[in-house]
Each structure stands twice: as structure tokens, then as C-alpha cells.
Structure 1
Amino acid sequence: MVDTQSELVRTFTIDTELSHSQLMAFPKFIREHMTFGALPGLKMSGLEAYASSGGHYMEFKSGPQRKSYECSVRVYLERPIKVELRSSMGRDQEFEKQLENVLLMVVQFFEEEARKSTLYVAFMPGSPKTAQLRQRTSGVRNIFMGNMISLFLLSILIGIAVFSIMSALGFGLYAPIVMIALMLTLVLSAGKISSLGTPWKITKNSREVVIVQHQVPEGALQFYVGEYRDKIRAAKQSLFTMFASYSGEIKSETVAQEFVKAGIPADKSDFLVRRVDVYGIVERVARKFDLSVPTIVISHDPRPNAAATGFTKQLATMIVTMGLLVQLDDEEIELVMGHELSHLRSGDPVVLFSLVVAEYFARVYVLFVYVTPLMQIPGLLIVYFIGVFWGIFFFGKFLETRADLEAALILQKPKVMAESLKKIGFRRLVLEERFLEPGGSRLGEWLRMDPHPPLYFRIQRLESLDLVNPPKHPFLSSVRAVTSGFVNSRRVP
């Protein structure tokens, strides 16, 4: 048992998508899935789970690996997860932050495991269709979901093909004009293309998405869906009618009763119900960015993501995945929307379009005309294109970092923005960027063909942001920060 006589030195909470019954399995998950049954990167001992009149919780002793400091940790298995730290040795703020990050990452891995045994049913009151989260997503939509840079790089490849074909036909002189026309058409149509096949369009009158999570026996999701397919369909129809006719809170107990009526064994502790006012969130953020509300569509993609596509503010489309609505709370979704609206407010699609057009004209009218003999060296053209692609991606890092900064400053919530990034990218943070194991060169993470800076860099910058003395020029500040981060990434502490 935790020594309750020790001083309470820190309390924090972790939001979770897990239901009450799923949370009960958290201690077991740590014992079975963590190395030596302990949290990674920390000293840990005496993990025990308890039930009392005050609720269910687990307790253990913990401390940093290279220090003598030790504290008692109590984790309440409730929503949100509440964590209490007690110690007779006072505070160790560095360890407290490390423990908070480690617990957040472990919760994310646990949620990922729990999703394998969770049936997700979503409704949009006003739309006759219901949805289950897809395990795959459209390859076409993937081009638009990551960043507009993907679209522009696709246009470069199209330009190469157009130039080659028209030159072979004797119309090489007109190739740049055709290329720019094709690129402009593709970019102007980005919003419409990205929303193809997406049946849910969020409007002022159809503004909510309702998500019902139902935990099934571990490892039995496919059997469960197959065994109760028709009954699940009947329960979904009944729930849709209920949510469409009532805008208030509908409790898990009521949802469980509808499943039982349909002939499906169910308990209220296995359900979680959430209503997300997507239009309201985007509208609030757009107002703070002095923008009109863009077209909003919901993708049934289970991955947490959002993207703002479109060449102008008037042609903009905001794509929000169901995975984002499931895994983030409303406040975190708000910050992600702020990041995307920052791209629109600053005209990033226009900037990138101009950059790609400038590169194309420089290549066609300068490189191919005045440096033709040099381009005939085997492999040099490939090296050139790799360099151009990497340069455009690196420029994209300036824009992404500025979007993080503007969202945090305008919405005044840098730490919430950092938390959303941790949840969205927890797997990359832990497995690729060694976020929980600082030290070593990080140059490889900066050299990736990715318009986003490494997540560890974005998170550290947001967590250290001073709202009292904010940067005066977000873009210039971001350019300096990214350049410094890249240069210093070679250093090994």
C-alpha cells in the first residue's frame, strides 16, 4: 500500500477513450506487455491493484533510474485517469515529467490494444448512414491527408511526364503551360477530390458526431461481429433513431439496453458514449483566426488525423478522421483544428504552389538549357530531384512549426497542443524518436522526407513556450528554431 502519510507532491490526469471495464485491465496490461512488468525507463516495484469504496486504483513505487529519489504512485482507474505522487523526499520535477510522459505513452499503447476488442459505431444525426471505423483508407485521400506538399510533389512528377511526352511529340515549347494548367486544376480541386467517397458533411444544422464504443471479449471482435451481424444492425438503427430525436445526454446504460433488446448480451460498463460538436469546435477556432468556417467532412479512417486542403480560404475543405474524434478530447481537437486553420490563414498552399512553379520554370528554362551537358552525367538528374524534394520538405518544416506556434498562441494552450501531438504520434515517439530515452544523435529524424519536424522537437518547443513573452514573428521564430534544431541534432549529449 502507498504510504498516505507521505506528502502529496503532484497530481495530474490523463484523458482516455477507455471504458470502465477496459480500465480494470490496465494493471494486467502493464504486467504482461511491459518489459519485466514495469514502466519503461523508470525504477518500479510493488505493482498492486485495489478496489475500495473510493474506486479502483493501482499503486507502485517508482523513481528515476540513476537517482536515489523514490515516490509512491497511485493511479485511479477512472475517466479521466487520476495520478497521485507522494514522497517523503520532496519533489523531483524532472522525474515527475518523465513519469507523466511514460504513463501517457503506456496508456496510448493500452488503448491501441483495447481497440482490437472494441466495436465502434458512429452516427451523424441528420445523416441516415451509420459507420464503423475502417481498417483501410483510400490511397487517393492519403495524398491530401498528410500535407499539401504531397500534392505539389505529385504535380512535379506529372510535370516530368508531361514534358517528356510533349517533347517527344515535338511540342516541348508548350509543355510548361500545360503543366501549370494541370497543376492549378489539381490544386484548385483538392478539396473536392479529398472529400470523394466521404458521405458525412458537417454543417451548421448537422454539426455533431456521436460515437458509441462497445467492448467485446478480448480477441473475439471478428467472431462477435459475424455472430451478431443482423442484431448489431438492428441495434444501430434503433440507436440512430434515438440520437436523431434527442439532443441531450444519452447514457451508456440506455445504449446497453438497446443492444439487449436486439438480442445481444451487454453490460453498461462495456459501453462509452460521446457526442462531439465538430462544427462548434471548428467554428470557435475559425472565429479566433478571423476565418469563415471551411467545408468540413468526416473520414471513417481510424487513424487520428486532420488536414485542411484547398488553394484559397474560400475553397478550403477540412477533413477530420473518425480516429481523431475517438482518440482526442474536445480541447485537443480544437488545437489540431487551429494548426490546420493556421495553414489556411497564412496562405501556405499558395506559398507552396509558387515554390513548386518557380522550381519547374528554373529547371525547364535554366537547368535544361544552360546546364544540359552536366545533366547528362549518369545519376545526376536523380540526385537533383532527391535534393529538390528534400529541400521542399525541409521548407515545409518551417510552415508546420509556425502552424504549431500560431495555434498555441492564438488559442493560448501550448501544453494541450503538445499533449495532442503525443497522442497522435505516440508510436513514432517511442519506437523511432526515443522520446522516453533522451540522448544520441537525432540527425536521421531530421533527414526524413517529411514536411513535419520530428515530434520530439515540436513537443519540446510547445512545452517551453512562454505565453507572457511570445515570439513577435512566428514564421521567423520558427525558421530559426527549425534551423537550430537541425544543426544541433548531430550533437550527442
Structure 2
Amino acid sequence: MSYFRTAILLAAMTALFMGIGYLFAGQTGMIVAFLVASGMNLFAYWNSDKMVLRMYGAREVDERSAPELYAMVRQLAQAADLPMPRVYIMENPQPNAFATGRNPENAAVAVTTGLMRTVDEGELAGVIAHELAHIKHRDTLLMTVTATLAGAISMLANFAMFFGGGSRDNNNPLGFVGVLLMVFLAPLAAGLVQMAISRTREYEADREGAEISGRPLWLASALQKISGAAERIPNMEAERNPASAHLFIVNPLSGARMDNLFSTHPNVENRVARLTELAHQMGELDTPSRAHSEPGHSGPWSSPRATRWD
């Protein structure tokens, strides 16, 4: 994703931040919010990836602590012509993954323990290749920075609600009406962030990731498994921080949440259909359920084996 589009979105998020400040304390609040947002934009550019990884309790691993995973990421990064990203594992039962970082030279790939228990080696390669595609297209900067700013917007709205948003002496030009608007702006901000990462980017990452791994049906099979498990297994960190849901390869939020109405993740069936069509174009004619089990694959692994991590 281009730096220009990133700048446009950051400007929109800053304007929303200023709007809440205006509702909270008039012109003074707007000016203060602008200064705070400017500082947060700069801080988020340099630190948002660390904040997101910390939010999900991700721990960094290396070739000694997770040799198979680390080797897989390194091999796929070489296939994608990318620098080696940092590798993280999240102690989370829900199978999922995301990438983060402001550029390919400062990127990270994080996978959950649930993912490593659910998929086999080929499917895991498909997921990691998808995340490397986001890094290659520089989608990760936009995803991490907007997640940070959306969280700040929600906190500012809550602060205004509980600390005088409706009093007469706070210079709020709209009074109690302004407070009510703040309450609604917080979930809308999360929805804005999720919609900011277009479905087209997810489709593009699927396509690019399939080309990196050489096996589109690896990813197709993984998406089916992840989607089915994510509907049954909650991701409590994502439920508490819905503005970061768009980071993941599959929506981590439960179906009971209203946030799913604003999900940027395309329908899994549509993603699988596109990957299946790509597999036909690449000469891979297996079905998604058999993609990872037959020998003679043309990707980084000539003979994938079913692997599980405890």
C-alpha cells in the first residue's frame, strides 16, 4: 500500500481525533487534540508494531527456540525477496496470524499457538506467505498505525464521557449531545479502521502469498481450517481491542460482536474460490482438502509432511 494512501488515512484519523476534541472542549480541545494526534502519529510510526505485539503477548523466537518455524519463515522470505522478519509466537488458542512493521526492513510475523496446532506444515507455509505478502506491499504500516490511533480515539471518547463531557463549564459547544456523539464515534472509529484496509488488499495478499509459496491450495486449506476454528474459539485479546482485528488473516472476533459488520476480511468461501482458480492457472489441480497431503509439490517444500507443534 502506497505511502500516499497511508498519509491520507492518517490525516483522516487525525481529523476524527480533533473532532472529538472539539466536542469535548471546543476550539481549545481541538487544538490540544491536534497536538496530541500529531505526536501520536509520529510515535505510532516508530512504535505501533511493538505495541501491537505487546498487546497480544507475543514472544520473539529464533532458530534455537523454534527451529522449524524460523526456518520456514526464512525460506519463504528468501522466496519473496524480503529481508528476514522477526518471528513471534502468541499464546492464544485461536488459530490466526498477522504481520506488522513500518517497512520490510523492520517487519515481524506473529502466529498463534492455536494456528500451529491446527494446520500442517504446508498450510502454515501458506499463511506465512500471505503475511509476507502484506509486508512486501507495505500494508503493515497502515494496519499497525491505524490500530494504534483507533484505540486512542476510543479512549478519548470514553475519557470525555466520564470526565465532564456534558457539564456546562467545559466549553463543549454541543453539551450532552456532544457526549452522545462521542459515545457513538468510538465504535465507528474502530469500524473506519477495519474498513480502511480494503478487501482488495486481502485478495492481493492471498494471490501474492500463493505465488510466494508456489501452492495456492495450501493457503485455501488453511483459511478453511482457521475460519472454522475462529468461529468456535474466542480470541479474548482481539475482543478487548477490536480496532486491531483487521491485522489478522481471518477475522478474530466472535460473530456476536457488532464490529463484524465493518469487517475488512473478505468472505472465506470467496477467497478459497479465487485461490482454487489460481491453482488451476498454475497447474495445481488438487482440491483444497488434499493440497497439503500429496508429494511432489512445487513450492519451497518438495515433500511437505504433516507437522504439529505442542
Letter in 2 for 1:399: R
**Quick one: structure 1 residues 289 and 170, their matched pair in 2 at CA, closer, same or farther if it must change by over 3 Å?**
same
Whole-angstrom CA distance in 1 between matches of 2:215 and 2:51: 33
Letter in 2 for 1:426: G
**Offset of residue 162 of structure 1:** 7.7
Within-5 A mapping of 1:130-209: 159=17, 163-164=21-22, 167=25, 170=28, 172-173=30-31, 175-196=33-54, 200-208=59-67
Of Structure 1 and Structure 2, which has the larger fraction of its residues in helix? Answer: 2
1:453 aligns to what? 266
Kept in 2, the 8 Å contact 1:310–1:349? The answer is yes
**Offset of residue 192 of structure 1:** 2.5
**Offset of residue 425 of structure 1:** 0.9
Whole-angstrom CA distance in 2 between matches of 1:336 and 1:302: 17
**Quick one: structure 1 residues 377 and 301, their matched pair in 2 at CA, closer, same or farther if it must change by over 3 Å?**
closer
**Offset of residue 452 of structure 1:** 0.8
**Quick one: structure 1 residues 157 and 171, their matched pair in 2 at CA, closer, same or farther if it must change by over 3 Å?**
closer
**Quick one: structure 1 residues 295 and 394, their matched pair in 2 at CA, closer, same or farther if it must change by over 3 Å?**
same
1:406 aligns to what? 208
Whole-angstrom CA distance in 2 between matches of 1:392 and 1:195: 18
Whole-angstrom CA distance in 2 between matches of 1:408 and 1:207: 24
Pick one of 73, 85, 100 that aligns with 1:282. 73
Within-5 A mapping of 1:388-407: 390=191, 392-396=193-197, 397-407=199-209
Pick one of 311, 314, 318 that aligns with 2:105. 314
2:289 aligns to what? none
**Offset of residue 460 of structure 1:** 1.7
**Offset of residue 380 of structure 1:** 7.6
Kept in 2, the 8 Å contact 1:335–1:407? The answer is yes
Whole-angstrom CA distance in 2 between matches of 1:330 and 1:461: 22
Pick one of 86, 109, 120 that aligns with 1:295. 86
Gaps of 5+ in 2: 1-9, 151-172, 233-257, 284-310
Letter in 1 for 2:43: T
**Offset of residue 466 of structure 1:** 5.1
Kept in 2, the 8 Å contact 1:306–1:324? The answer is yes
**Offset of residue 354 of structure 1:** 8.9
Whole-angstrom CA distance in 2 between matches of 1:391 and 1:334: 31
Letter in 2 for 1:416: W
Pick one of 190, 215, 219 that aligns with 1:417. 219
**Quick one: structure 1 residues 377 and 163, their matched pair in 2 at CA, closer, same or farther if it must change by over 3 Å?**
closer
Kept in 1, the 8 Å contact 2:59–2:89? The answer is yes
Kept in 2, the 8 Å contact 1:343–1:349? The answer is yes
**Offset of residue 329 of structure 1:** 0.8
Pick one of 137, 162, 186 that aligns with 1:346. 137
Kept in 2, the 8 Å contact 1:281–1:334? The answer is yes
TM-superposition CA deviations, 1:70-95 (whole Å, max 9, x none): xxxxxxxxxxxxxxxxxxxxxxxxxx
**Quick one: structure 1 residues 456 and 199, their matched pair in 2 at CA, closer, same or farther if it must change by over 3 Å?**
closer
Of Structure 1 and Structure 2, which has the larger fraction of its residues in strand? Answer: 1
Whole-angstrom CA distance in 1 between matches of 2:180 and 2:27: 25
Whole-angstrom CA distance in 2 between matches of 1:280 and 1:386: 40
**Quick one: structure 1 residues 352 and 450, their matched pair in 2 at CA, closer, same or farther if it must change by over 3 Å?**
same
**Quick one: structure 1 residues 467 and 194, their matched pair in 2 at CA, closer, same or farther if it must change by over 3 Å?**
same
Gaps of 5+ in 1: 1-151, 209-276, 360-371, 431-444, 471-493
TM-score scaled to structure 1, two decimals?
A: 0.38
**Quick one: structure 1 residues 395 and 465, their matched pair in 2 at CA, closer, same or farther if it must change by over 3 Å?**
farther
What is the percentage of aligned positions where both structures have the same residue? 23
Letter in 2 for 1:191: D
1:305 aligns to what? 96
Whole-angstrom CA distance in 2 between matches of 1:203 and 1:190: 22
Whole-angstrom CA distance in 2 between matches of 1:158 and 1:415: 41
**Offset of residue 312 of structure 1:** 1.9
**Quick one: structure 1 residues 382 and 460, their matched pair in 2 at CA, closer, same or farther if it must change by over 3 Å?**
farther
Whole-angstrom CA distance in 1 between matches of 2:24 and 2:142: 28
Letter in 2 for 1:203: D
Whole-angstrom CA distance in 1 between matches of 2:136 and 2:16: 28
**Quick one: structure 1 residues 392 and 467, their matched pair in 2 at CA, closer, same or farther if it must change by over 3 Å?**
farther
Whole-angstrom CA distance in 2 between matches of 1:344 and 1:192: 16
TM-score scaled to structure 2, two decimals?
A: 0.57
Letter in 2 for 1:337: I
Whole-angstrom CA distance in 2 between matches of 1:424 and 1:386: 26
**Offset of residue 169 of structure 1:** 8.8
The structure having more radius of gyration, on CA atoms, is 1
Kept in 2, the 8 Å contact 1:167–1:175? The answer is no
**Offset of residue 179 of structure 1:** 0.4
**Offset of residue 279 of structure 1:** 0.6
Within-5 A mapping of 1:258-277: 277=68
1:328 aligns to what? 119
Q: Give the CA RMSD over aligned residues.
A: 4.5
Letter in 2 for 1:409: E
Whole-angstrom CA distance in 1 between matches of 2:223 and 2:216: 11
Kept in 1, the 8 Å contact 2:99–2:140? The answer is no
**Quick one: structure 1 residues 354 and 192, their matched pair in 2 at CA, closer, same or farther if it must change by over 3 Å?**
closer
